[in-house]
Amino acid sequence: AALALLGGSAAAVVVWKWLGKRQIQKKMEEARRTRDEGVKKMAKVVQQFREQVPSVQTDAILSLPLLELTRRLREGSLSPKTVLYTYVEKALEVTQQTNCLRHFIPECEEQLQEIQRQEEKGLLYGIPISIKDHIGHKGHLSTCGLVQCLGTVVQEDSVLVKVLKSQGAIPFAMTNVPQSLFSYDCSNPIFGQTLHPFNPQKSPGGSSGGEGALIAGGGSILGIGSDIGGSIRLPSSFCGLCGLKPTAERLSQWDPGRDVCSRPAPVPGATGPMARDVDSLALCMKAVLCQEMFRLDPTVPPLPFDEKVYSSSAPLRVGYYDTDGYFPLPPCMQRAVQETRGALQAAGHQLVPFSPPRIHYVMTELFLKTFFADGGRAWLDVFTGGVVDPSLKSQVNGYKIPRLGKKLLALILKPLQFLLFLLNLKNVATISTCRSVKEMWNHHHEIQAYRTEFIARWKELQLDVVLCPVLGPAFTTGYPGKLLTAISSTMLYNVLNFPAGVVPVSTVTEADEEELKLYRGCCDDPWDRTLKQAVAGAVGLPVAVQCVALPWRDELCLRFMKEVETLSREK
């Protein structure tokens, strides 16, 4: 009888698990079906518009820079309706190639009517914009690529979306992200893998990868992403866009859609713009840094955009480095810094060698410890029903091993670097956790102490800004999950909470590809060899640099980015 009872209980558990999995599968299928129906509806609306207005100069509209497009919309030579449907049509084409959209926003048609009722034309009047999956828009999901978020519809627009709408912008699409946002690839089990718009073998980067693919493919002129380790800057680097991670508190973080994906941390996440040129980023910042945002979110310092700083042409004192000494980047990324340094010097700016202190310590003790202070338990909790994207499997499995087990494995396998690499345990095993509240306070203090040390070094050299590398060129899909620590170049400025932006300055040449064959990285270990494989076959893809300023000097960061962009275009 006992055996029969035991057998019955085991069978019940198996059935219960199977039903749970079946329910999860149904939820995922439903989400995909809703998305596909939305795409079909939008395609129908575009077709109807095309029949009503057959003479639209699509290519001419899509080729206009943002500043010129806003001018024409404001003067009335182009109508918001024409511009919206032109971009919707292009977005349909781009997502067919790249799978970059998570959902169209059908309420864009209501917003189209709303802006025509506004007394004053805002700075972004009639501009269609795309927003990253987790940025809250009323009536829509904010999924982070997670099954547990599929049932909860956002009840209110985030402050940023409200402000963009008040400035006349029309949010029309939400873009795809990697599962949990903690990856710089762009794949999740619900909506699948997003591909690079110029090379389907490559990743657009992440976590704002859907934005990167859509904007670079021409399906959006302005997008809003977020960045907690490089998530605006890496897709911008991979896709050849300009992207700004502002000082975190400069823009409102209030967002009902972000509860699951974000946790308060001493390393703050930032929301910021992505576009095809620096002027577009500046216009977006000018539009959102307005009284309406300061009114809706009193925690944002009421600092309007400083046009004088952005349009200044005074020579700058620029610190520079082409490697942070932690994860040496491919030759083309170092070349980009050296060429940009030369161009800035020739243009009359003062260039000073700069070396960021103790990056290994920052990466393991400050950055990763912030997110995995609890040994990764909070992160593991978001993977409902064990549905994990293949790109995250090795990391998730690594964090499931008890702390002592990880330490022992790391010790035993230390001589066998390749096995450590295969199990993705090098990073996992070396991450310290905070085992008490006191240790957590100490951790917060260490971050503050490092910021103080970094600023002291910056001031000692009397720098205005810093020029440095960014990870790139675009990785082959699947590789970002194997190389979490390769993001040291961007992660540093999240820990410091400095504004940092990315500007494309070149493309990968045949000579770069030849030089890559000689790349040995730091110690020619499996991680260095994997980086080499990840970026191989990138001839013609964008190569970017990173521009940095001190906290709250976002306009100076943009001004420096504009200078770099102008010089690279002249070249």
Which one-letter DSSP state was computed for residue 267? S
What are the backbone dihedrals phi and psi of residue 506, each rounded to the nearest 5 degrees, phi first?
A: -165, -175
Catalytic residues: 132, 207, 231
Summarised one tens digit per residue, pLDDT across range 305-326 is: 999 999 999 999 999 999 999 9
pTM: 0.95
**Measuring CA to CA, how many Å separate 96 from each of 175, 219, 519?**
13, 11, 36
Summarised one tens digit per residue, pLDDT across range 351-360 is: 999 999 999 9
- For residues 58 and 86, the answer to whether their CB atoms sit within 8 Å is yes
Pick from 65-74, 365-374, 495-504: least confident: 365-374
C-alpha–C-alpha distance, residues 359 and 325, integer Å: 7
Return binding residues: 181, 207, 228-231
Task: Give me 476's structure tokens.
Answer: 């082959």
Summarised one tens digit per residue, pLDDT across range 404-457 is: 776 676 667 666 555 555 555 555 555 667 888 898 899 999 999 999 999 999
Return binding residues for substrate: 181, 207, 228-231
Residue 389: enclosing H or E segment and its boundaries? none
Q: Of all residues in the chain, what percent carry a pLDDT higher than 70?
A: 92
- For residues 458 and 496, the answer to whether their CB atoms sit within 8 Å is no
- pLDDT on residue 304: 98
- pLDDT on residue 150: 92
Task: Give me 224's structure tokens.
Answer: 């809003």
- pLDDT on residue 8: 67
Residue 3 reports pLDDT greater than 70:
no
- For residues 100 and 217, the answer to whether their CB atoms sit within 8 Å is yes
> Can you list the domains of the chain with their CATH numbers?
33-300 (3.90.1300.10), 310-358+459-570 (3.90.1300.10)
Summarised one tens digit per residue, pLDDT across range 209-222 is: 999 999 999 999 99
Summarised one tens digit per residue, pLDDT across range 149-207 is: 998 899 999 999 999 999 999 999 999 999 999 999 999 999 999 999 999 999 999 99
Higher local confidence (pLDDT), 364 or 546: 546
